[in-house]
Amino acid sequence: MTKALRINVTGRVQGVGFRYTAQQKASRLRLTGWVRNERDGSVEIRAEGEPEQLAALLDWLEAGGPPCSRISRIDHFPVEPQGTFSRFSVEY
């Protein structure tokens, strides 16, 4: 059963390759959705997939995410799956 999460990540997460590394990780997990920088310096992720895949993405983030980032907070909320994504992309 497809589930979806909206994830907001704060800390040193912009300008360190976070979006591209998150996109690669999500793609390897066969998730769909997107990752983008927010104006407040955080990064937002919208991910859809099986619960185990979403849990693996959260585990990766909680373990520190990309090597150059410094995550200080992760907030995640269930949202309704849209089912319209065909891949996981970096949004600008």
- Span 27-37, mean pLDDT? 98
Structural domains of the chain sorted by starting position, each given as residue range(s) with its CATH number in brackets: 3-90 (3.30.70.100)
37 is catalytic: yes
pLDDT of residue 7: 98
pLDDT digits (tens, 9 = 90+) for 47-60: 999 999 999 999 99
- In degrees and rounded to multiples of 5, residue 27 shows phi and psi of -65, -40
- Span 52-73, mean pLDDT? 96
- Active-site option among 19, 39, 70, 73: 19
Residue 92 has pLDDT above 90, yes or no: no
What share of the chain has pLDDT > 70, as a percent?
Answer: 100
Distance of alpha carbon 13 from the chain centroid: 12
pTM, two decimals, is 0.95
- Active-site option among 37, 70, 73, 87: 37
6 is catalytic: no
For residue 88, what are its two tokens? Answer: 């996981």
> Residue 44 in contact with residue 76, Cβ under 8 Å?
no
